[in-house]
Amino acid sequence: MKFFIDTADVAEIKEARELGILDGVTTNPSLIKKSGRPFKDVAAEICKLVSGPVSLEVTAIDCEGMLKEAAELAGFGDNVVIKLPLIPEGLKACKRLTEQGVKTNVTLCFSPVQALLAAKAGASFISPFVGRLDDIGQDGMEIIPQIRQIYDNYGFDTEILVASIRNPVHVLDAALAGADVATIPFSVFKQLVHHPLTDKGLAQFLKDWKEVKA
Ligand code: G3P
């Protein structure tokens, strides 16, 4: 499973990249706002920092507007993936961009049937938001194996990019369900590596090592 980082904070991206396991970046308008920086500056910097896919989201809500924005966003680098909302106009734009060979990430997906529509429109990635489903009392992760099964049933090569991840269990369940990608907030990236028994065991090894004669 590929690991993307879900942030527009360049310092976080650099730190995650140093771990050597970062495959890409996803952003959205809210994450850009949180970065506190002008969009063009932050988008250009992220696209240079990471060689893997960088999702940049359109804000138009009509197909022609989305296509116009997509052309501008593509200028930030060869690794740009155009993020489109899962609305009828977004599906139309996805189909058009796919026909032009442009990579797309269809976002704000909350059901397996929506994911099927995105795949039929040729999406490179589908982003089901598991945490936001949990927030309204539905088990968000339930839809991931369902999307996996649908895509496998029909041979769709759209990659399942699990988004709105809130904790390490979401990452575990995404991997068990055969998701292609998890896009992970930096706070969760840090939680993934940590285990108290690792720390305890290492402390003991280092203590004992001091008592070993060379
Ligand atoms: O990038 C989209 C998604 O990961 C957003 O997550 O935590 O705002 O629901 P969240």
Check: CB of residue 123 under 8 Å from CB of residue 147: no
Residues 79-113 have pLDDT tens digits of: 999 999 999 999 999 999 999 999 999 999 999 99
The DSSP bridge partners found for residue 5 are 25, 184
User: pLDDT category, 214, cuts 50, 70, 90?
Assistant: confident
Catalytic residue among 14, 33, 83, 210: 83
Average pLDDT of the residues in 190-200: 94
Find the domain containing 171 and state its range. Answer: 2-213
pTM comes to 0.96
User: Coil, helix or strand for 18?
Assistant: helix
Residue with tokens 């932050």: 42
Residues 51-79 have pLDDT tens digits of: 999 999 999 999 999 999 999 999 999 99
CA distances from 78 to 7, 12, 26, 48 (A): 19, 22, 15, 10
Closest-CA residue to 80 (of 27, 16, 10): 27
Average pLDDT of the residues in 9-18: 96
Q: What is the percentage of the chain residues whose pLDDT exceeds 70?
A: 100
d(CA 84, CA 67): 10
CATH code assigned at 151: 3.20.20.70
Q: How many domains does the chain have?
A: 1
**Ligand 1 pocket: which of 3, 6, 108, 144 to mutate (most atoms within 8 A of CB):** 6
CA of 151 from ligand 1 middle (Å) equals 23
- Predicted local distance difference test score (pLDDT) of residue 111: 98
Amino acid 189 reads F
Residues 128-183 have pLDDT tens digits of: 999 999 999 999 999 999 999 999 999 999 999 999 999 999 999 999 999 999 99
CA distances from 133 to 19, 116, 136, 188 (A): 30, 18, 5, 18
> Which helix (H) or strand (E) element contains residue 5?
strand 2-6
Asked if residue 212 has pLDDT above 90, the reply is yes
Residues 18-46 have pLDDT tens digits of: 999 999 999 999 999 999 999 999 999 99
131 CA closest ligand 1 atom index = 9
d(CA 183, CA 177): 15
